[in-house]
Structure 1
Amino acid sequence: MLTLLWRLLIFIAAIFMIRAFLAMIFGGGQIRKRDGSSKRAGEPEAKKMVKDPVCGMYMDPRLALHLKERGGDFYFCSEECRRKFLSGTSAHP
């Protein structure tokens, strides 16, 4: 009976070690926050995304073309979308 318990204990320990190893490999240093969100170690904080008013694409505002018009800030994914917006050929507000 004692050897059966030892085998069971070794089996359970092996399962936990394998699970920890797989989490280390495939989890890649993921950090869980108390609010349930997660972020990879060393990854910058997520920035607010902006929406192109012409095509609806979301992008990082640092990479988008920016236009201040009518008291608002508009961001575009391409020069083509910016031109459409300025010419009034898009369905923007």
Structure 2
Amino acid sequence: MGAESDWEPRAVCRRLEPELFFEPATRSLAKAACARCPVRAECLDAVLIREEGLRVGDRSGIFAGLLPGQRVALAKRRAAQTPPAQ
């Protein structure tokens, strides 16, 4: 990981225990925290870039309110909508 982005200090998760986002028993609490986060879009963009090329099994936790499989599906949809570079 590199330097902290300007949006990260404003993330709701910064004020919560990290384990909340990685334990199945607290999944609904983590998703609720993400739902009210003012930088959810920035978080989603950052995690999709960071996870690019990883298999589903190599991803973990809830980021931007999404589970690993949901992030993979979203990344595939976005890639399919992006026109090829010319």
Structure 1 or 2: more strand by fraction: 1
TM over 0.5: no
- The structure with higher relative contact order (CA 8 Å, sep 6+) is 2
Structure 1 or 2: more helix by fraction: 2
The normalised TM-score by structure 1 is 0.19
Larger CA Rg, structure 1 vs 2: 1
